[in-house]
Amino acid sequence: MESDKGETRPRALEGVKVADFSWVVVGPVTGMILAHHGAQVVRVESLSRPDPLRTIPPMKDGVRGLNRAGLFADYNTNKYGLSLDLNQPRGVEVARRLMSWADVVIESFSPGTMKRWGLGYQDISKTKPEIIMLSTSMVGQTGPAARSVGFGVELISLIGFNHFVGWPDRGPTPLLTAYSDYLTPPIGVIAIMAALETRHKTGKGQWIDLSQFEASLHYLAPALLDYGVNGHDAGRQGNRHCCAAPHAAYRCQGEDRWCAISIFTDDEWKTFCRVIGRPEWAGDPRFASVLDRKKNEDELNRLLEGWTVDHAAEEIMSLLQANGIAAGVVADGKDVLNDPQLKHRRHFVPVNHTEMGQYMAQSPSFKLSRTPSEVSAGAPCLGEHSEYVCTQLLGMSDEEFVGLLSEGVLT
Amino acid sequence: MSDMKPSPSASGEGPIQPLSAYRVLNLTDDRGSFCARILADLGADVIKIEPPQGDPSRKLNPFFHNDAHPEKSLFWFAYNANQRGVTLNIEAVEGQKLFKRLAKRAHFVVESFPPGYLDELGLGYSALSQLNPSLIMTSVTAFGQDGPYRGWKASDIVISALSGSMYLAGDPDRAPLRIGGCEQSYLVGSAYAAAGTMLAHYYRLLTGQGQHVDASAVESVSFATMGYYMYQDLEGYVFRRTGNYYDRYGKQVQLTWSCRDGYISWRLFMGGEGRFTRAVVEWMDSEGEAGELKDVKWGDIGYDAVTIEDYNRWTKLFGEFFRKHTKEAIQREALARGFSCFPVNTPKDLMENAQLKARGYWVEVECPEMDGAITAPGPLYQSSEVAWKKPGRPPLLGEHNEEIYRGELGLSREELCLLKQADVI
């Protein structure tokens, strides 16, 4: 692939081949990160049971369609699309050929599904011991709850996140994002890269059992240890912090505009009072030390919001950051697209999609200096590259391809 | 795991620690420690390098028995396990010399200082890559190494705000909410940093060349927002937080529900996922409580096709049914009947969770400083070929100074003594 300047830079995973049988978020994002770094990734889908992400909003121009869905487009850039019916024996045959082409297989079906098709790790590794298979599921391949069904939006409750989000006087609050679906893909990439390292050494592949439940619990470890050793459950604290005040999102000028401010030290507090033109607060004994500010936090927040509400969130952020105080606009979807830092980092990049035209896709949140990632192609339409994959990558003859197409094995 | 018991490989080797041949110098504080911890779990020899007064994360809540002692922070414990530890003042010239000697033979350096800090000390990537071209250096920061916010002050709540994550959560009548429990943004940034580190490592394996991995916490958390910026890009409007509901054609699709002993997460699905709703109604019917819900064709109707009155009445019936049942009973039925529903687990529920127990997830970490053994989260994933490092507690402050400085670098007792007096170690 080429960079904008036309020079060719090496990619970290040049030559690595991935068959991505997964769907929804965790598997597809794991595969996409590999694709952003030069791996050739074939996303396998089925027309009879399309990826749920192809069916939910947002949709390009608000018009529904399997090839117009935003989330699918965001999580499958740089991939080839193959549409295959795995409920036909010849479909399974094509899948097997794709696996013999691949270095890495990613799948996220209910545990046991691949095995029923004869595509499980045990089946494939018999003839191809170097195959690496990542199976990701909500709670793992084994155990009494292995066959749990559902989505990340609910799974985060099982993991414990919802318990910790919300106000002390109200119930647990959903995040409106399938949060664990984004905590797990980096672990998936790590597992695959560790497997490639091992294969480099021993020649042997492996089966990876990635439980989204287990991987995500690491992000709550201190709270779990706190309960385990102290019997203490911190519960819901709104936006408060044990050791900082002010520490909240404050209402600003305009409709639903907010600015987050966090002040940890007494020096920061004094600076804050000076730069916002309220030097008298710095001398107020109710707020002199962090202990005082924590004790009188309700009053402190009321006073502060009395000031913020008359100012634009951006103005507050700039003023405070210029004086070394941590502050940030509570960014909505429009703000993040226009954020100067994210623009500078090229976090959102325009890509072209066969049906949607140009849209903004996300690039990796880390940058490799020698082998930079590249987000160069929009997500595939359903089956967009079936012919290319079958004839060019798998070496099928045109007759065979057309035959499979007419039998409905391929679409 | 019957199916995944390591099978003897052709060469007769069992499972291995994938990174056991590699060394990591870990300069991070709480902003990057999870990245180094992941490499340690995979078997790398990680040396935590702390300033002589200790890593600031030793002062982070919560503490063992609320004792704010530098060896008793549970945050420190969670993300610095499985490592050896030395103290070193890298702002002192002698400290920089020692660090360079260590870096010459290391494979990874992980750091989370403000951008530019290590360059000023002559220890940035450009300097270290001269000494050791195959070195991979990973930096975890709030905003990344470059850009207009490079020098900005950040905290978890500020990153949550700027990433767009905060705007999504919370009731519309109050302020947006950050995720509580423990501060998320640098953990997410660190996990993505570790993924980048492993990609760079694979490239090095094939070419011998190292590189700099520059991870941004804001970008990592931004990724975790389920693409809601796309409403703006594709449909031209700002997606607003809706608290405990998804809005579907004007219907409030409730997400969290009260049950007899707490809360559960469940959605009244229709259309494509309507089979999940049908399964709940069958359960209700078996207890004689389905009423009119029995007659609704859940798989055939969509949210757009029902009236708000019908929808709200149905919601109420489901709500009344859930309130009569416990989290455990609801989860049992969800599993048996195949519908999507999970309890809102508390830490207590998690420690007792049958699935985690059956898979042997929790591990006991010996820690005499905290009165014995501590139960901690287990492997990040399972694999037929990976032997996870037996979990060990984090290093005490300067615990391996002798071992590393005398044993490995060959300093004399006198030199070590001098360096200690000069506050280098």
- Window B:23-62, CB contacts with A under 8 Å: 34, 38, 42, 60-62
How far is Cα of residue A159 from the mean position of the Cα atoms in its chain? 16
Mean pLDDT of chain B: 94
- Whether complex ipTM tops 0.90: yes
CA angle B137, B142, B143 (to 5 degrees): 90
d(CA A130, CA A30): 20
pLDDT per position as a tens digit, B144-161? 999 999 999 999 999 999
Q: Cβ–Cβ of B205/A237 closer than 8 Å?
A: no
Of A176, A197, A219, the CB nearest to B205: A197
Residue B4 has pLDDT above 80, yes or no: no
| Chain B neighbors of A340, CB-CB under 8 A | 147-149
Q: Are B162 and B185 in contact (CB under 8 A)?
A: no
| Distance from the B45 Cα atom to the nearest Cα atom in chain A, whole angstroms | 15
pLDDT at B1: 37
Q: Cβ–Cβ of B182/A342 closer than 8 Å?
A: no
pLDDT at B5: 40
pLDDT at B273: 87
Listed residue (A408, A306, A384, A394) closest to A79, CA to CA? A384
Residue pairs between chains A and B whose CB atoms are closer than 8 Å: 542
Region of residue A256 (left: phi > 0; alpha: psi -120 to 50; beta: else): left
B88-to-A236, B28, B51, B412 alpha-carbon distances in Å: 39, 13, 5, 16
A23 shares contact with chain B (CB less than 8 Å):
no
Q: Are A53 and A25 in contact (CB under 8 A)?
A: yes
d(CA B171, CA A170): 10
The whole-number average pLDDT for the span B47-74 is: 96
Helical axes A180-202 vs B185-207, angle rounded to 10°: 20
Q: How many CA atoms lie within 13 A of B420 on its CB side?
A: 12
Q: Domains plus CATH for chain A? A: 17-219+346-406 (3.40.50.10540), 247-338 (3.30.1540.10)
pLDDT at B7: 42
Residue B13 has pLDDT above 80, yes or no: no
pLDDT at B6: 38
Instruction: Tell me the backbone φ, ψ of residue B110, rounded to 5 degrees.
Output: -120, 130
Q: Select the CATH number that applies to the domain covering B2-225+361-421 from these four: 3.40.1440.10, 3.10.50.40, 3.40.50.10540, 3.30.420.40.
A: 3.40.50.10540
Cite the active site residues of A.
181
The DSSP code sequence of B70-92 is TT-BHHHHHHS-S-EEEE--TTS
d(CA A313, CA A305): 12
| Chain B neighbors of A330, CB-CB under 8 A | 161, 166-167, 176
d(CA A180, CA A151): 10
* pTM for this model (two decimals): 0.97
d(CA B23, CA B103): 10
Q: Residue B371 — pLDDT band, cuts 50, 70, 90?
A: confident
d(CA A36, CA A379): 12
A4 vs B77, residue with greater confidence: B77
d(CA B279, CA B268): 11
Question: What is the radius of gyration, based on Cα positions, of chain B?
Answer: 26
Of A158, A178, A200, the CB nearest to B343: A158
Q: Cβ–Cβ of B350/A160 closer than 8 Å?
A: yes
Question: What is the residue-level pLDDT of chain A in tens, covering all 411 positions?
Answer: 344 445 678 999 999 999 999 999 999 999 999 999 999 999 999 998 999 999 989 999 999 999 999 999 999 999 999 999 999 999 999 999 999 999 999 999 999 999 999 999 999 999 999 999 999 999 999 999 999 998 888 999 999 999 999 999 999 999 989 999 999 999 999 999 999 999 999 999 999 999 999 999 999 999 999 999 999 999 999 999 999 999 999 999 999 999 999 999 999 999 999 999 999 999 999 999 999 999 999 999 999 999 999 999 999 999 999 999 999 999 999 999 999 999 999 999 999 999 999 999 999 999 999 999 999 999 999 999 999 999 999 999 999 999 999 999 998
pLDDT at B2: 38
Q: Select the CATH number that applies to the domain covering B244-345 from these four: 3.20.20.60, 3.90.650.10, 3.30.1540.10, 2.40.50.140.
A: 3.30.1540.10
The DSSP bridge partners found for residue B375 are B364
Listed residue (A333, A344, A337, A341) closest to A360, CA to CA? A337
Q: Residue B8 — pLDDT band, cuts 50, 70, 90?
A: very low
pLDDT at B10: 40
- Residue ranges of domains in chain B: 2-225+361-421, 244-345
pLDDT per position as a tens digit, B80-93? 999 999 999 999 99
Tokens 């044993």 label which residue? Answer: B407
Of B3, B60, B198, the CB nearest to A193: B198
d(CA B29, CA B49): 10
pLDDT per position as a tens digit, B178-187? 998 999 999 9
pLDDT per position as a tens digit, B111-156? 999 999 999 999 999 999 999 999 999 999 999 999 999 999 999 9
d(CA A145, CA B345): 15
pLDDT per position as a tens digit, B226-257? 988 999 999 999 999 999 999 888 999 999 99
pLDDT at B272: 81
Of A217, A242, A348, the CB nearest to B377: A217
Q: Are B242 and B172 in contact (CB under 8 A)?
A: yes
d(CA A55, CA A77): 17
Residue B362 has pLDDT above 70, yes or no: yes
| Percent of chain B residues past pLDDT 70, beyond the cut | 97
pLDDT at B3: 43
Q: Residue B372 — pLDDT band, cuts 50, 70, 90?
A: confident
A348 shares contact with chain B (CB less than 8 Å):
yes
Residue of A365, A368, A374 to mutate, interface with B, max B Cβ within 10 Å: A365
User: Which pair of structure tokens corresponds to residue A308?
Assistant: 């913020």
Q: Are A165 and B169 in contact (CB under 8 A)?
A: yes
Residue of A106, A330, A359, A371 to mutate, interface with B, max B Cβ within 10 Å: A330
User: Which pair of structure tokens corresponds to residue B300?
Assistant: 């055939």
